Structure 1
Amino acid sequence: MTASVGSIHPLDPLGSSELAAAVAQAKVAWKLDHRHLFAMVQLDEPTKTELTNLQPNSPVVRRARMMVWDKSRGVVCEGVLVLGGATGALVEIAGAKAPVLSSESEQAIAAVRTDTRIIEALLQRGINDVHTVHMETWPIGAQMPKYLDIGRRVIWTPMWHCPTPQANFYAHPIGGLHAIVDLDTGEVVDVENDQQIPIPQTPGPYRASQTGANIGLKELAITQPDGASFTVNGWRIDWERWNMRIGFCQREGLVIHEVQFDDNGVERRIARRLSIAELVIPYGDPSQGAYRKNAFDTGEFGLGNYTNSLTLGCDCLGEIVYLDAAVTQPDGSIREIPNAICMHEEDVGILWKHVDIDGQVEVRRGRRFVVSSIVTVNNYEYGYFWYFYQDGSIEFEAKLTGIVLTVSDFPGADHPSATEIEPGLWAPFHQHILCARLDMDIDGTSNSVVEVDAFAHPVGSKNPYGGAYETSETVFATESVAQRVIDPFKNRFWKIINLGRTNHMGKPVGYKLVPGHTTFPMALPDSVIGRKAGFMYKHLWVTPHVEEERYPAGDYPFQHEGGAGLPEWTSNDRNVENTDVVLWYVFGTNHIPRIEDWPVMPVERAGFQLKPSGFFSRSPGIDVAAAKPACH
């Protein structure tokens, strides 16, 4: 399918009609039937060369990249087709397994509900209605039982009791009872029923109708009488001096493309593509109900599938503009997600201020443009928020909320890897580890990455009073030396520079990556999750730009033996100096649950900043006009 550049852009996500057309075309061209499930269907993004060569009003070729799961043969296939045009070959991917698909999860749970072993085990626990039991389908993220390690594609089902329709079932985990299901055959291949732990009985109400919450404040109205300051043209956004394109895909969810800043009439490129390419949650509790919970929410589920429809005044506040999205279901039907992405402005306090000795006060209010989406994957919500500031800075913030995962144990038990939040109700220790894929193009594609450390000389000629310090800069030449960790003792940060472009001081233009809240992985490197998520052992990786290198744990983490993605690619030790580079920044939180995280966890934040560092000739904030005299 082709369209002119004026009506549709090559980076626009595939809409519902395009997805439907792609599915129909694939079924005919590749002879797909009921044995084939559509695991992922998303835009096959144009290459940088294609985007660079794009001319106004030239035809736009729309391509769909498809991941198809052949259940009958247990084979993953991939193919790319041009909508309304040529259809490429459907290629088998050796050794790959498809992610967990929604229809398979439903079928697996239905099979477990009718299994006589499960029904009997529930009766032993005083539960006579299997439909009052909530079940979830989780990949087996730890050692696979030997009798199952024969290539089966399996999940396991932790369970919770839901005594009333609106009860918080996470308050009532059913300990020691799990089913293992073959996703392809629908067979319940095993039932684990080897612990008799009392089901915790203390409820965990959180709905307003249950809690009677009545702590309120006076109304805070966010109004913009003249409307929002940004304009929306399809998926292109212009705000203040920024412009960018918003994207969305079934795997990563929210994506930001083509980030530029108008520097005195010159459109300057900062980034080509920004996304959170993986989110993995390693659990640190060795108990039976937790040790296998090491899910890749991006690679094993697809965050786009779980994107919320956002609500005005609750998820977003102010003058809001929404973008809708669509995803393909396993059977090829299309599901639309209204209000999948929210865009609005926020006041962020003062941008800058100074009071001179003559009493003259200069102060500027700061505002930021916000692009956000929120996903719900089982118990947790993840909000992805991209912020663009008037001083040329970019920030990403992940907002983590939802309900902590729970297991049962005896009240007061010796359970050192979990927090007892109610009698017999335990929340296991775990980590949320995210990996941002930052395809930076600082004034072009020839970039280098520099590590900047602060240090002090011993007292002597270079530090006569003991208070002096300097910085050292190290340019990364190859991938092996560009695998780095944070160092707060050296106040470490990294710069992305363009050696071919200098500022008015003769220095290379650049942006710096400033770490925010992050963590170190606790799982041992030779553990199953350690091998599969090898990327998490470094906070920064730098690779040359390769279109096919998209996900830090590889394309297919489900039941993968490990070593794929960044560890594999960087083993070639390719050049990353003065070339087109991609930065992979790893960050997250170490969650030792608090009692105050129950029954719903207050938002916890993690993220990073990208700040201009010699990119401009002065602060862009100095050009921001003073606000109307309504501050006091």
Structure 2
Amino acid sequence: MVDLPEKKVIELVDDGRIIPIPRQKHNYDTPGLGEPRTTLKPLSIKQPEGPSFNIDGWYVSWQNWIFRVGFTLGDGLVLHQLSWDDGKNVRSIVYRANVTEMCVPIPIRARTTGTTDRYWKVTNPNVKNAVGANLDYKLIVNDSRLMLADERSKVRQRGGFATRHVWVTPFDPAERYASGDYPNQHSGGAGLPRYIEAKRNVENKDLASWHSFDHTHVCKPEDFPIMPVEYAGFMLKPNNVFSANPTMDLPSGRDQSSVEDSKSIDHGCCKL
């Protein structure tokens, strides 16, 4: 353990084990990995009439979706003013959407806890749909655990946002980061745990909804040299927002340029 401001070594742990450094070279190129497989058939994705979206600077329109794309040094990708055009009105869905923090707790004692299958709704009490129900969006949490780090650890104290799946605060432009503005400089408790101490009213207010989701990565040989894709996330579903399924106007039809769709082919094992 090192005290960076004081430039002092606080604690050095030596368990007596001597683990040799791997000597085998692993270069991620053809000489190092070998020749690629030759059994794959070509796959071509064509858009003869161009894409179905338009980009004008930061402004993106994609079918009924309208939003602005931005990037910041702290947040990375940010989506602004995410809206849906229902043909009569442009309906605002999300004012700003981005990932604020990524916390990686590693060699710390963990404990397991069970979680319930729950969902949360964000409701607009001022608007009703055609059947008299309030408009709301349902936040559905996928398989996601809370932080497993020891409560006494610094990563747990500084990453307090990861101890709850959902936080709700009144919208405040100054409150942009779930663990505070300077997560590596505070001793713990900043960010969302501090924001909610004010006990501000959130009923019928512009809200900031915060969702913490995780992926528990247990390393395995298949992750080397490049880790395969692992999915983590959530679903935000409209509930009583539309009068019907808004995608029912998508055209049907077959892609005649697809080999599998336009003619029968004998692959040896089966005939399509």
| 1:240 lines up with 2:63 in the alignment | yes
1:243-286 Cα deviation digits (max 9, x unpaired): 10001001111000001101123101001000000011100358
SS in 1 for 2:99: strand
Q: How far did 1:193 drift? A: 10
Q: Residue 92 of structure 2 corresponds to which residue in structure 1?
A: 269
8 Å CA contact 1:246–1:254 kept in 2: the answer is yes
SS in 1 for 2:100: strand
Q: How far did 1:591 drift? A: 1.0
SS in 2 for 1:589: coil
SS in 2 for 1:620: coil
Q: How far did 1:531 drift? A: 0.7
Q: Residue 501 of structure 1 corresponds to which residue in structure 2?
A: 127
1:39-73 Cα deviation digits (max 9, x unpaired): xxxxxxxxxxxxxxxxxxxxxxxxxxxxxxxxxxx
- For 1:272 and 1:589, the matched residues in 2 are separated by 26
Match of 1:200 among 5, 17, 22: 22
The structure that is helix-richer by fraction is 1
| 1:487 lines up with 2:116 in the alignment | yes
- For 1:564 and 1:607, the matched residues in 2 are separated by 24
TM-score when normalising by structure 1: 0.38
| 1:605 lines up with 2:231 in the alignment | yes
8 Å CA contact 2:168–2:207 kept in 1: the answer is yes
Q: How far did 1:205 drift? A: 4.0
Q: Residue 583 of structure 1 corresponds to which residue in structure 2?
A: 209
1:137-170 Cα deviation digits (max 9, x unpaired): xxxxxxx54xx47x44x6xxxxxxxxxxxxxxxx
- For 1:564 and 1:507, the matched residues in 2 are separated by 38
- For 1:213 and 1:262, the matched residues in 2 are separated by 49
Q: How far did 1:206 drift? A: 3.3
1:440-498 Cα deviation digits (max 9, x unpaired): xxxxxxxxxxxxxxxxxxxxxxxxxxxxxxxxxxxxxxxxxxxxx9522xxx1112111
SS in 2 for 1:626: coil
Q: Residue 33 of structure 2 corresponds to which residue in structure 1?
A: 211
- For 1:510 and 1:576, the matched residues in 2 are separated by 15
- For 2:145 and 2:44, the matched residues in 1 are separated by 37
Give the root-mean-square deviation of aligned CA atoms: 2.5
| 1:547 lines up with 2:176 in the alignment | no
Cα 1:605–1:498 shift into 2, 3 Å: same
| 1:250 lines up with 2:73 in the alignment | yes
TM-score when normalising by structure 2: 0.84
- For 1:209 and 1:511, the matched residues in 2 are separated by 52
Q: Residue 225 of structure 1 corresponds to which residue in structure 2?
A: 48
Amino acid at match of 2:215: T
Q: How far did 1:527 drift? A: 1.3
Cα 1:213–1:605 shift into 2, 3 Å: farther
8 Å CA contact 2:121–2:136 kept in 1: the answer is yes
Q: How far did 1:528 drift? A: 1.2
Q: How far did 1:600 drift? A: 1.8
SS in 2 for 1:518: coil
Cα 1:197–1:625 shift into 2, 3 Å: closer
Amino acid at match of 1:506: G
1:182-225 Cα deviation digits (max 9, x unpaired): xxxxxxx89x7967542222444433331114224111111100
Gaps of 5+ in 1: 1-143, 155-179, 181-188, 287-416, 418-484
Amino acid at match of 1:596: E
- For 2:164 and 2:13, the matched residues in 1 are separated by 39
- For 1:606 and 1:534, the matched residues in 2 are separated by 19
- For 1:529 and 1:243, the matched residues in 2 are separated by 38
8 Å CA contact 1:486–1:515 kept in 2: the answer is no
SS in 2 for 1:587: coil
8 Å CA contact 1:517–1:605 kept in 2: the answer is no
How high is the sequence identity, in percent, across the aligned residues?
Answer: 38
Q: How far did 1:516 drift? A: 2.2
8 Å CA contact 1:534–1:567 kept in 2: the answer is yes
Q: Residue 105 of structure 1 corresponds to which residue in structure 2?
A: none
Cα 1:503–1:486 shift into 2, 3 Å: farther
- For 1:551 and 1:506, the matched residues in 2 are separated by 37
The structure that is strand-richer by fraction is 1
- For 1:511 and 1:486, the matched residues in 2 are separated by 22
Q: How far did 1:517 drift? A: 3.7
8 Å CA contact 2:26–2:32 kept in 1: the answer is no
Q: How far did 1:583 drift? A: 0.7
1:400-449 Cα deviation digits (max 9, x unpaired): xxxxxxxxxxxxxxxxx9xxxxxxxxxxxxxxxxxxxxxxxxxxxxxxxx
- For 1:202 and 1:222, the matched residues in 2 are separated by 39
1:95-141 Cα deviation digits (max 9, x unpaired): xxxxxxxxxxxxxxxxxxxxxxxxxxxxxxxxxxxxxxxxxxxxxxx
Q: Residue 533 of structure 1 corresponds to which residue in structure 2?
A: 159
Amino acid at match of 1:527: S
Amino acid at match of 1:611: K
Gaps of 5+ in 2: 262-272
